[in-house]
Amino acid sequence: MIKPHGSDKLHPLYVQDKASRTELLEEAKTLPSITVSSSAAANAVMLGCGYFNPLSGFMDKQDALFIADTMKTASGLFWPIPVLNLVPENSIPGDCKIISLRDPNVDGNPILAVQEIKSIETFSEVELSHVTEKVFGTTDASHPGVAAFNSQGNSIISGPLKVLDFSYFEKDFPETFRTAYQLRDSISEAGWKKVVAFQTRNPMHRAHEELCRMAFESLDADGILIHMLLGKLKPGDIPADVRDSSIRIMAEKYFPAGTIKIAGYGFDMMYAGPREAVLHAVFRQNSGCSHLIVGRDHAGVGDYYGPFEAQEIFRKQVPEEALEIKIFEADHTAWSKKLNKVVMMRDHPDHTKEDWLFLSGTRVREMLSKGEPLPEEFSRPEVAEILMKYYQS
C-alpha cells in the first residue's frame, strides 16, 4: 500500500486506548479551557484521524508564513495549507502550559482535545492578509473560506495535540465517518493496491458517477473510495445526511459489488480551490489511496478560480517528489445527445453546444422544489427522488 505522507507509518493523534483516554479526559477537566472555532475543531479531528499525518499538532506562525509562501514548513515538510488554532487575542489565561480544547459544534461544548502550548503568537494585520491571499488567492470577504478564516482571531496557539473525541461526526454518521487508519485497514483487508479517490461535497449526479467509472477503468484500479465531506459548508449547500443517502443508493444500484467504498471525513470546507485540492491529495494518500480525481473547479467557489487551476497547481507548484499519490485529471463531463452517454467534453471537439445536456444548479433546485423529475441523463431516478424530498421539505 502507498506510504503515508511524510512518514513510513501513520501517526494519528487520537488516544486510542480507552483507559488512557478516560484518564486524560478527567485530567483535562481540571485544566484551563477554551472553546475553539469550528475550523480548529475540524483540524483537531483531522489530526486525530491521521488524515494530517505526519503533523503532531497545531502549527506556529513561522510554519504558517513558510507554507503560505513555499508550501513547505520551516523544517522542509511539504504542506499546502497551514493547520492552525486561531483565537482572539488574550483568550488564554497567563502562564498556561497545557489547555483543553472545547468543541463549538456540540451542545455543552465537551472537551475535544488537550493541547500543549509551545507558543502563543500574533499575526499582524499585514501577515494575516498575506496568508489569506496565498492560501485562498484572494482577500475578498465575500469568499466563504476567507470570511471563515479571518473571523477566528489573530492569535496562534501552537503545540502538540492529544485528541479525545471526534466531535459530532462519529455520532451523527456512524456508518460513514471513518478515520484514515480505518480506511487503510479496510483497503488492506480488501487486497486493493490501486485505489482512486473521489472527493465530494455534493450529491452525485450521472456525470460524477461516470467520472468515477472512467477513472476506475482508465487506471485499471482495484477500487474506488467515494470520500465525502461531513463538516460545515456554506449556506445553500446540501446537508451531509442527504448527500450520504443519495450516494449510497447510487453506489448500491449502479456499481459492481466489491468495487466501491463510501466514507466521510470530519472537516469544514475551505473553498480554497487549488491549495485545498493539494490538501485533499495529502489526506487521501494518508488514507491509502494511490490516485485522486481532480476535476473542473475542484474545491472552488464562485468565480475565484479558473476551471482547471486545481490541476495546474500539481504540475507547476507541487514538486514531483513531494507526494506519492497521483492525480487523475478530469475534464468537465456531460451527457452527449449524439452518443447517448456521459463523456468528457475534451474528448469530443466535434460536439456543438446543442449536442450536450446541461442543467444549471439553479434550474436543478427549481425543478426539484417543484416536484419535477430530473432527466435520467442527468440524475439517477433514485438519487433525484431523495433530493426532491429534501427540497420539497
- Catalytically active residues are 201-202
Spatial contact of 156 and 64, defined as CB atoms under 8 Å apart: yes
- Rounded to the nearest 5 percent, the helix, strand and coil shares of the chain are 35, 20, 45
Element (H, E) at 103: none
Spatial contact of 155 and 121, defined as CB atoms under 8 Å apart: yes
Spatial contact of 83 and 47, defined as CB atoms under 8 Å apart: yes
Element (H, E) at 391: helix 381-392
Kindly give, in sequence order, each residue whose CB lies less than 8 Å from that of residue 256, ignoring residues fewer than 6 positions away: none
**The residue count for the chain:** 393
Please give the C-alpha separations between residue 5 and each of 12, 79, 208, 319, in angstroms, as whole numbers.
12, 10, 27, 14
Cell numbers given for 243: 448527500
Neighbours of 72 (CB within 10 A): 16
Spatial contact of 263 and 178, defined as CB atoms under 8 Å apart: yes
Spatial contact of 380 and 206, defined as CB atoms under 8 Å apart: yes
User: For residue 165, which phi and psi values (nearest 5 degrees)?
Assistant: -155, 155
- Whether the bond into 54 is cis, omega within 30 of 0: yes
User: For residue 61, which phi and psi values (nearest 5 degrees)?
Assistant: -65, -40
Spatial contact of 200 and 248, defined as CB atoms under 8 Å apart: no
